[in-house]
Amino acid sequence: MRREGLLQMFRHGHGCDGADPDRMCYSVMGHRVCKTAFVRITGIGNWSLQNARESFRSGHESSLSRCELGYAHGIQPNSKDNTYIDARSWLEYYADKFGDHSPMEMTTYLPKGRKSTVYAMYVHERGGKAVASLAVFLAAWRFELPWLIMAPALCNFVHCGVCDYLRDQIDRCPRSASAYLNALIDRLGSHFRFQAAQRLAMDQIAERCNQSEGKRWILTIDKMDQNAIWLPTKWSMMRTQLYRNGERIHVALIGTWWSGMASSAEIHLRTVFEDCKHGADMQCSTVMQNFHEKVLAEKTCA
């Protein structure tokens, strides 16, 4: 805005002296001053005045600053590596490989997580080459790929049924029935406190196991099948005979988190087939197999 103001000043003050049509007349608060006084009063340097004069002589009507370009200046040709375009191209490749593209929606969903984690994968896959900074990476994501969205949930079972039921009852309760409404709110608050105490107790047990130097172990396990977990859907195969009438193999993912390991990894993922009638049988079998592997790994590293 200051450069455009100088441009307007040169346009209106140029040639104000009839004796010299190329002479510039400077004024401050309506009073004519010399150039030296104008520079000292306003603090505008000779370099800015010279640029404004050259712009006026070139017939410029406005002056667009670099900050107004935003991140669009990242696509201008320069001698440096164009990290802005590099980040965008990597995001498009990542979305095509791991995103869920639905023909009924304009958006593509990535597995739930943090954008900083996606940036870490981008830096890792570039293998030491010039990469975009986190700010440029997020700007390319925000401005160029607004249709690329992180999934809001990991699976269909992240919501607590009791919480949803109590919230629904609160919405159904009229405000005139204040006693019932307050009772439901207190019940929901006590449920939240129970959940918080349960998580805190699990974290405390896991911390004691981590501090036991491998003498105490605890694990948490969860099984997710392909219908529950958020996995990319191959929409191009949905109309094939295999998906319509064929017998497909169902695959599940069982994850266990071990606390108290001295040498082996804490997180263990195992891909299994749906060959058991009950999920509990599959989890017990997986726990025994993982436990056997952990014992051998800890014994070898001890």
232-278 pLDDT per residue, tens: 566 666 677 766 665 666 677 788 888 888 777 778 777 777 655 55
For residue 17, the enclosing domain spans 2-63
In a domain, 68, yes or no: no
What is the C-alpha to C-alpha distance for residues 130 and 139, in angstroms, rounded to an integer? Answer: 17
In a domain, 50, yes or no: yes
In a domain, 110, yes or no: yes
Q: Are 198 and 186 in a shared domain?
A: yes
> Where is the domain boundary, 150, 170, 186?
150
What is the C-alpha to C-alpha distance for residues 210 and 218, in angstroms, rounded to an integer? Answer: 9
Q: Are 117 and 133 in a shared domain?
A: yes
Handedness of CA 108, 110, 112, 114 (dihedral sign): negative
Count the helices and strands in the chain (H runs, E runs): 11, 8
3-class DSSP state of 63: coil
CA dihedral 233→234→235→240, nearest 10 degrees, is -130
248 in Cβ contact with 212 (< 8 Å): no
* Non-local CB neighbours of 281 within 8 Å, separated by 6+ positions: none
User: pLDDT tens digits, the chain, 302 residues: what are they?
Assistant: 566 677 677 666 665 655 455 567 777 777 777 878 877 887 777 777 777 777 777 777 666 665 555 555 555 555 555 788 889 999 999 888 888 777 677 888 887 778 888 998 899 888 878 888 899 899 889 988 999 988 776 555 556 778 888 888 888 888 888 888 888 888 888 888 888 888 788 888 888 888 888 788 888 877 776 555 555 566 666 677 766 665 666 677 788 888 888 777 778 777 777 655 556 667 777 778 778 887 787 776 55
In a domain, 267, yes or no: yes
In a domain, 71, yes or no: no
In a domain, 70, yes or no: no
Domain count across the chain: 4
Per DSSP, helices labelled H in the chain are 2-13, 35-42, 46-57, 66-69, 83-98, 115-126, 134-144, 161-172, 178-210, 241-244, 279-301
Q: Are 87 and 146 in a shared domain?
A: yes
Q: Are 243 and 295 in a shared domain?
A: yes
Q: Are 176 and 255 in a shared domain?
A: no
> Where is the domain boundary, 37, 63, 89?
63
Statement: the pTM of the whole predicted model exceeds 0.95: no
41-71 pLDDT per residue, tens: 877 777 777 777 777 777 776 666 655 555 5
What is the C-alpha to C-alpha distance for residues 160 and 76, in angstroms, rounded to an integer? Answer: 50
* Non-local CB neighbours of 129 within 8 Å, separated by 6+ positions: 81
> Where is the domain boundary, 35, 63, 91?
63
Q: Are 184 and 143 in a shared domain?
A: no
In a domain, 69, yes or no: no
Q: Are 203 and 222 in a shared domain?
A: no
In a domain, 72, yes or no: no
Q: Are 221 and 200 in a shared domain?
A: no
